[in-house]
Chains A and B, each alone.
Chain A
């Protein structure tokens, strides 16, 4: 079984008269232990794909199996619980709670997950230690640099031992040298067995991943593992349709 299996996923936004296909018949699989980078220019649908993978949004059509569970069958409340247990998010803008210590930020998912208080604190300390912030656990986000904040966010993503870590442009808002540090942490986590899906538009960041999926206009145009081209399953459209491109451009406005 695959960890993630997407088949024929489409997402259509209705804005007035115009239908915008943010995702158009996407199918791919992610195995346990993979490190996948999803690349594409802005408006290519990679953020929408990330929201669907993260169970923050539902596809218009298609099937998304996470650990062989059909995610379309779950209610919003059940999805919240699955996000808590199975998915670790790392956002572009860190999204730490303001005026809250690093330690507390890391503990939030465990509070929602019903982990016992003593265990919560122990685990949060361990994880902050692991991302190199052992001495800054009582600092609030305002007292941390961008790179440090992102490392807190990574620690937070790991608290519930998720099946998959979803990182959306994790280096988009931090200095280059800190970005490398953050990417090394991801690489290390992958070596330890974590499955990581990374979304980025920077080629040098994507280089850290073993597999690169390129999106354009809501479709997969390339899927390479360690530099080797992979067959794109069920791809009906090999050549982008001109009119579709124009419609997609509405999205960027």
Chain B
């Protein structure tokens, strides 16, 4: 490095330490600004990345040979509705996809209708997602049964009032570890017999895959919610390589069934796992950057704190600077010395900030049940940024010091 030519690193370091010892509290407070800035950058960046990873792993768990058909938007009288708002996707569409000879790449088709509803059992109640499904759902979406049986084709045909519960629902309604098989629950006041419990799949909050109640599709549509359309059709494609071929086959098939000629006017969307992953990644990435951006503001404030302290230091040490110049210190030496002081403060502030940030993230990850992963890139970034903050905000005070005329500085009282 170039500045080492002017003064050895060891000398710079010990000179700076003497100054820091003189102003312990001030130096500590200046560093604290950087510590907090770096800590929040690290903690929030890691938090964002961990949520991103969690969501991705859940989407990946869907399987790479999955296609999901959802209703498209309805445009009526020039008003564009939201995606999924159309009511054009039906159980008949699903059956036709499964049986069509034109579609060669599809293995299993799982039509579904889901909506939130209040579920009660005795005195307990919970609001959860009700899934109207066919037996295909359990294999397509890889949901396993822990106890009892799953929804059968017979149940679907007979519009049976039977329900399979997720473990979260079981503990919400019957208490932890209870056996609710054979018990009765009520969904929108309609009684259902509990016939099975699914295996836990994990996930938290919005993505909790255990907080679900499965009932036969027909029962959900006609008895509970009074609709005749679907909210999704999940399709298992024979292998990963034929995903795009399947997407095309299903797409043209449904267009034809819905009597549409223009693919851009389609009243449905077909998404692969990759599409979902991309959409989700975009959202979580934006979220991560937003968090990091907020944290960066505190780092900026920390940097301004450093600059402030350094300016005070320069004024206070005017006589010392004059003396050093009289003894032969060049502008470069003075600049380097004050720059080094700023960088040393921010560098050690950065180290402490990284430790603190990792600690905070560790606690948050534990509370929020997120994977505890720290990316090395965020650590390197933090080091780089804290050093850059030192150089950036130390530069102006250092220049101010270097420009002092020796005689003016020596006279200064």
Contacts and interface: CB of A to CB of B under 8 A. Distances in A.
Contacts of A77: 330-332
A64 to B, nearest CB: 15
A35 B392 CA distance: 49
A84 B407 contact: no
Interface string A136-180: 000000000000000000001000100000000000000000000
A48 to B, nearest CB: 9
Interface stretch (B35-43, B71-79, B262-270, B320-328): B320-328
Contacts of B330: 77, 80-81, 112
B21 A109 contact: no
Given A81-B328, A109-B327, A97 B407 contact: no
A56 B410 contact: yes
A249 to B, nearest CB: 19
Contact of B407 (A56, A91, A111): A56
Given A83-B328, A85-B328, A99 B407 contact: no
Nearest to B19: A99
A54 interface: yes
A80 B325 contact: yes
A117 interface: yes
A98 interface: yes
Given A56-B406, A99-B21, A80 B319 contact: no
B328 A80 contact: yes
Q: Chain B interface mostly helix, strand, loop or mixed? A: helix
Given A56-B407, A56-B410, A95-B410, A76 B331 contact: yes
Contact of A100 (B18, B325, B327, B331): B18
A112 B328 contact: yes
A143 to B, nearest CB: 15
A84 B328 contact: yes
Contact of B328 (A57, A95, A99, A109): A109
A79 B193 CA distance: 97
A89 interface: yes
A113 interface: yes
B7 A89 contact: no
A84 B324 CA distance: 10
Nearest to B12: A111
Interface in B1-34: 7-8, 10-11, 18, 21-22
B18 A156 contact: no
Nearest to A76: B331
A57 B408 CA distance: 9
30 contacts: A51-B407, A56-B325, A56-B326, A57-B405, A57-B407, A76-B331, A77-B332, A80-B325, A80-B330, A81-B328, A83-B325, A83-B328, A89-B326, A97-B323, A99-B18, A99-B22, A100-B18, A108-B324, A109-B327, A109-B328, A111-B7, A111-B11, A112-B328, A112-B329, A112-B330, A112-B333, A113-B328, A117-B10, A156-B327, A160-B328
Interface of B: 7-8, 10-11, 18, 21-22, 319-320, 323-333, 405-407, 410
Interface of A: 51, 54, 56-57, 76-77, 80-81, 83-85, 89, 91, 95, 97-100, 108-109, 111-113, 117, 156, 160
